[in-house]
Structure 1
């Protein structure tokens, strides 16, 4: 692939790397902005409610942008059937995360019959985005084994994504409902691990291509007088 043809892809991969970093920073900041929400017993979507909800919107939007940018980066590089299927699931992840940014959840105590349109669409975003994420990281990690300089790290992060989801489901099943619709449990920890592992996977997948952009910029910079 020529330098001219790879430059746009390298720049898009830099966007994927930067957006994933923004997502992590936004999510981290919310733990400082909302100390009233105990991480073990609250899903990250609950940060979208209240005065600092914009930070959760930024987080979901950044995750969506990173997923979409990585999709654009990998599309010309993955021609196998499994790779293309993985990219299809990555597009679903981007769509689901984008919907999560646009449509915040309702308060956790809201009964199903009283849910708003935004709350219902947030549920749809979960059903689209989460399967997209877990299947994308699995299939693309396998498809990138011959191209990535860190194939074992990609597979390890994909495994962490799956383990986190499984743990989250198990802890949700074991969670104890409290009066007022509050649920006590530890599902919030694997929920956060799931998203952080996905962010790390996006960064590792995008890094080799983003490095091309940095190298090209360094080579194109005028020499010092």
Structure 2
């Protein structure tokens, strides 16, 4: 019987599919929230605002879904991804994001017009942890792909996506003040992030399939 921790195990090979499904649910739920809450204009409302008020549980479930996606992707990368310290660090940082996103889901944000609360402050801290850990993960993973024969074919796309994600992060950071279109830059960052997460899930699925068919 094959060890479940073996990269060739079907249970391990299923991880990238699980990650892609979790990420897809997040994207679908977020799009649904735009239709359900048209009063939250995209210019001056972050996506976290959808967890406040009517239909808030849908957005909370979306945060939980993307957190589980990060865990599945990280676990798959630790099993089948690059074995270098950069690859391990990139996967480890996704686990940090997994934990941070659980906190994000558990502690809703404060709306801009509402008084500041401890719950909102915790949400803000988790947001910063998530965004920094994901940015660092994208850099570590894209660099690690260049030095692993199984992942080398993805290095250009990975570096390109990491670069675009970095630019989106800078745009988000520069607009984090009242009067700026921070809602738009927030959605741009999230859109690029979803492309990055789903791309890595698909690359991991290919790597897992190659490993699964390789003789033990």
Q: For 2:46, which of 20, 43, 46 is the aligned residue? A: 43
* Alignment of structure 1 residues 106-145 onto 2, 5 Å: 106-112=110-116, 115=117, 117-145=118-146
Check conservation: 1:95, 1:128, Cα contact below 8 A.
no
| Gaps in structure 1 of 5+ consecutive residues | 177-184, 217-225
Give 1:212 shift: 7.1
TM-score, structure 1 normalization: 0.81
For structure 2, the residue ranges without an aligned partner over 5 or more in a row are: 212-216
Cα 1:22–1:168 shift into 2, 3 Å: same
User: Following TM superposition, by how much is the alpha carbon of 1:100 offset from its aligned partner in structure 2, in angstroms?
Assistant: 0.8
Aligned residues: 204
| Structure 1 SS opposite 2:14 | helix
Name the counterpart of 2:68: 65
Q: Is this contact kept in 1: 2:89–2:140, CA < 8 A? A: yes
Of the two, which has the highest radius of gyration? Answer: 1
Residue 90 of structure 1 corresponds to 94
Residue 160, structure 1, aligned to residue 164, structure 2: yes
Question: Could you tell me which residue of structure 2 aligns to residue 19 of structure 1?
Answer: 22
CA distance in 1, matches of 2:145, 2:3: 21
- RMSD over aligned CA atoms reads 2.4
Deviation at 1:45, TM superposition (A): 0.5
Specify whether residues 17 and 128 from structure 1 end up closer, same or farther in structure 2 by C-alpha distance, changes over 3 A only. same
Q: Distance in 1 between matches of 2:12 and 2:198?
A: 15
